[in-house]
A and B are shown apart, each in its own frame.
Chain A
Amino acid sequence: DIQMTQSPSSLSASVGDRVTITCRASQTINTYLNWYHQKPGKAPKLLIYAASSLQSGVPSRFRGSGSGTDFTLTITSLQPEDFATYYCQQSYTYPRTFGQGTKVEIK
């Protein structure tokens, strides 16, 4: 199985900050990497697919990059509604796997 490792596990940031979350795969997954965020008590929501494609309706402040084994999600200017937990997920092979999550908290 492909292991997905996110860093950091949590971070504190202020509104307007630039935030970067990293996801590393245990083997190459080309660009088969997706990003989601989840607010407490809610279902996850797809933000980025295929490493860098913005899902319809998602604000352009969310940017994804990377290929192979190393990927990055950047929020260019953190907004109040962005405080949530973020997950990466690989779609390269079965079983599909998620990272352990990165919690973005208010500083």
Chain B
Amino acid sequence: QVTLRESGPALVKPTQTLTLTCTFSGFSLSTSAMCVSWIRQPPGKALEWLALIDWDDDKWYTTSLKTRLTISKDTSKNQVVLTMTNMDPVDTATYYCARYNTLETWAFDYWGQGTLVTVSS
């Protein structure tokens, strides 16, 4: 059974750095074709893809936030970490992590429940 769970602060101040952790089970990021991605959704708005890391430690980022994002993995802990620097109120959103499967679907086939991050002083 594949599960993912996001964790991190619910509230951050403007200019601070956000660190989110995705802890997963039911698959391994050392297995070929497995990837984990971060996606966010501001309140009442659409989904926005942020970043992805694959089994081979290759990383991709959304164009508009590339300079502020870093994604990394700890395969032994089954965790993926996303950091976002210089947080702003417009970054207030629910942040999801999701498994991305390049073996079967080339889609986000399992998602975490999401964690709401509010940026406010």
Contact = CB atoms under 8 A, between A and B. Distances in A.
25 contacts: A34-B107, A34-B108, A36-B108, A43-B111, A43-B113, A44-B108, A45-B111, A46-B105, A49-B104, A50-B106, A89-B107, A89-B108, A91-B106, A94-B52, A94-B60, A95-B61, A95-B63, A96-B49, A98-B39, A98-B46, A98-B47, A98-B48, A98-B49, A100-B46, A101-B46
A84 to B, nearest CB: 13
Query: Which 9 pairs across A and B sit closest by C-beta, in order of nearness?
Result: A43-B111, A49-B105, A34-B107, A49-B107, A94-B60, A91-B106, A96-B49, A98-B47, A95-B62
Interface residues on B, range: 20 to 34
Contacts of A46: 105, 107-109
Interface of A: 1, 32, 34, 36, 38, 42-46, 49-50, 53, 55, 87, 89, 91, 94-101
Interface of A is mostly: loop
A55 B105 contact: yes
Interface of B is mostly: strand
B117 to A, nearest CB: 15
Interface of B: 37, 39, 46-49, 52, 60-63, 96, 98, 104-109, 111-114
